[in-house]
Amino acid sequence: MDNRAVGIFDSGLGGLTALKALQELLPEENILYFGDTGRLPYGEKSREQLRRMAVQDLDLIASFDVKAIIVACGTLSSNAADILERYPIPSFGVLKAGVAGMRKVPGDGPLGVIATAASIRSGAFEKALRADCPGREILPVPCPDFVPLIESGHGSGDPAIRDAVARYCAPLREADAVLLGCTHYGIIEGALSDYLGQSTALVSAAYCGAAQVAQYLIVNGMTGGRGEERFLVSGDPGAFGRAASTLLGRPLAQGAERVPVMAY
């Protein structure tokens, strides 16, 4: 048994989808969550900036003696996979796990992936999907407006979200499945499902990543905890706490704490 926390980090609220998934799978795990709200959105930053930020975020989480880390950010997972893989604490991105989930989609029709502009620009999602799902057409679509809209409080029922979904996702309406390559996108899954229709499956990279970590902890005898949570942010703790409480459907027991981050 290992009662140390699992670290989870993202640019903001999106990683809460991975947190919820891990709590469904292993409800007793202690969790340390970091939302880098002072530096979002990540999707507009250069590859060099993102790689520096990945190291900074990993080091911040690691300083709290976590036993494993979920990098609940498709942008970092696609631009800094090598950094995650060689980090001394077991660190799991959402790209490989999400692609593994897409591999299970039956049929031979097109497969889509939606993610931030930086993720799609890296080519990492498309390359991995082509390798793991040979013979299928891959449709990569950047959705740069989604994260800013979600972080500013827009949800699935909001006209601004539904307009953005229609604007970006029109090429995906014939896809057998769409990978939600940014963890934020699970927050607007309702709008995506309504637009794409029931014939298009939605695969959550956040859930797949959490499931991968849960399996790792179980296999290695590292589960344990008391279901405790601690939330850290680099921006406004009050704003994050209010938004996180809404998304989780409950108040944060201890609120959120602000921590300093380095310039990138």
Do 6-93+207-258 and 96-205 share a fold?
yes
* Mean pLDDT in residue range 100-104: 97
- Where in the chain are the domains? 6-93+207-258, 96-205
Q: What is the dihedral of CA 148, 154, 155, 160, to 10 degrees?
A: -90
How many Å apart are CA 29 and CA 25, to the nearest integer? Answer: 9
pLDDT value, residue 148: 96
What is the model's pLDDT at position 261? 82
Contacts 24+ apart (CB under 8 A), 249-256: 253/229, 254/229, 254/230, 255/231, 256/35, 256/231, 256/232
Residue given tokens 């590292």 in the structure block = 222
CATH of domain 6-93+207-258: 3.40.50.1860
CATH class given for the domain over 96-205: alpha beta
Among 56, 57, 59, smallest CA distance to 72 is for 57
Q: How far apart are CA 94 and CA 225, in angstroms?
A: 23
- In eight-state DSSP terms, residue 259 is -
pLDDT at 264: 65
pTM for this predicted structure: 0.96
Catalytic residues: 73, 182
Packing angle, helices 16-25 and 237-248, rounded to 10? 50
* Residue 71 reports pLDDT greater than 90: yes
| Distance in angstroms (rounded) separating the CA atoms of residues 191 and 173 | 13
CB 111 within 8 A of CB 105: yes
pLDDT single digits (tens) 125-184: 999 999 999 999 999 999 999 999 999 999 999 999 999 999 999 999 999 999 999 999
